[in-house]
Structure 1
Amino acid sequence: MASLVTALRAAASGMEAQSTRLRHLSENIANADTPGYQRKTVSFAEMAQGTVATGPVMLDRSPLQSVYDPGNPLSDDSGHYDGSNVDLVIELADAREAQRSYEANLKLFDQARQMTQSLFDLIRR
C-alpha cells in the first residue's frame, strides 16, 4: 500500500512541476514581442521518495535580439532597440514536451489510483 501512495505522490509532484513549467512557457510566448523581455526557465530537483519539485525561476542570459525600427520610441540613433530573447520554436517544443510529461504523470496517477481502488475492493470482500 505504501508503494502505491508513493507512486501517487510522485505522479502528483510531476504534474505540479510540469504545470509550473507550462505557466512560465506561456508567459514567455505571451511576452515574445515585449522589448527587453528575458526568457524564463525552470529547473527541476529530485526530492524524497521520487518526488520532483521546481527550482528557482531563472532568466535566460542569452543576448537580446536587436530589432530595427527607427520609428519606435525605444530606438537608439541607429534605429535599433533590444527585443526579447524568446524563440517561439523552442518555446513551443518545450511546451509540447511539458504537455506530454504531464500526460504521462496523469496516466501514472490514474493507474495507481485504480490499483488502490482495486485493493480496497479486495479488502472489503
Structure 2
Amino acid sequence: MDFSDSLGVSAAGMRVQAERLHVAAENLANADTTGSTPGADPYRRKTITFQEVLNHESGVSSVAIKEIGQDQTPFQTRYDPSHPAADSAGLVKMPNVNTMVEIMDTHEAQHAYEANLNTMQITRSMLTRTVNLMK
C-alpha cells in the first residue's frame, strides 16, 4: 500500500462517518416529530449501512455507504387525546428514535472520524519526510 492508497482509505472512512453523523443528527432533530393528522405515522428513524469496497487495481479495501434505510421498529404510543395526530382512542404514535442510541452513535462516529483524520495526518507527515529525504 502506498501513501495515496492510505490517504484514500482514510478519506473514505471520513466520508462515511460524516454521513453517519448526519443521519444521527437528523434522527435526533426529529425525535419528537409526530404525524399531523389522526393516526398518521410519525418520523421513522433512519439507519445507515456500510459496505467494503475493493479497488481491484491496487488490491486495497475501503468503505462506502451501502444504504440509508429506515428502522422498522414499531412505534410507541402515548395517550394525548388533545394532540392533532391522536387516533379515536386518544393515542399518538411516537417516533421510533431512542435519543441515547443516537447520542452514542454520534460519539462513536466522531471517534472513528478522528481516527481516520489522525491516520491521514500521519500519512501526510510521512510523505513530507520522504520528499525531504529525496532533496
Normalised by the size of structure 2, how large is the TM-score?
Answer: 0.88
Q: Give the structure with the higher percent helix.
A: 1
Distance 1:4 1:18 in 2: 21
Distance 2:84 2:24 in 1: 28
Q: Give the structure with the higher percent strand.
A: 2
Which of 34, 39, 42 lines up with 2:48 in the alignment?
42
Question: Unaligned 5+ residue runs, structure 1?
Answer: none
Question: Is 1:11–2:49 an aligned residue pair?
Answer: no
Q: Percent identity?
A: 37
Partner amino acid, structure 1, of 2:4: V
Which of 73, 78, 81 lines up with 1:70 in the alignment?
81
SS at match of 1:92: helix
Displacement of 1:16? 0.4
Normalised by the size of structure 1, how large is the TM-score?
Answer: 0.95
Question: Is 1:122–2:119 an aligned residue pair?
Answer: no
Displacement of 1:8? 0.5
Match of 1:104?
Answer: 115
Distance 1:50 1:112 in 2: 17
Tell me which stretches of 4 or more aligned residues in structure 1 moved more than 4 Å: none
- Within 5 Å, which residues of 2 pair with 1:18-97? 18-35=17-34, 36-48=42-54, 49-97=60-108
Distance 1:3 1:41 in 2: 33
C-alpha RMSD of matched pairs (Å): 0.9
SS at match of 2:68: strand
How many aligned positions are there?
Answer: 123
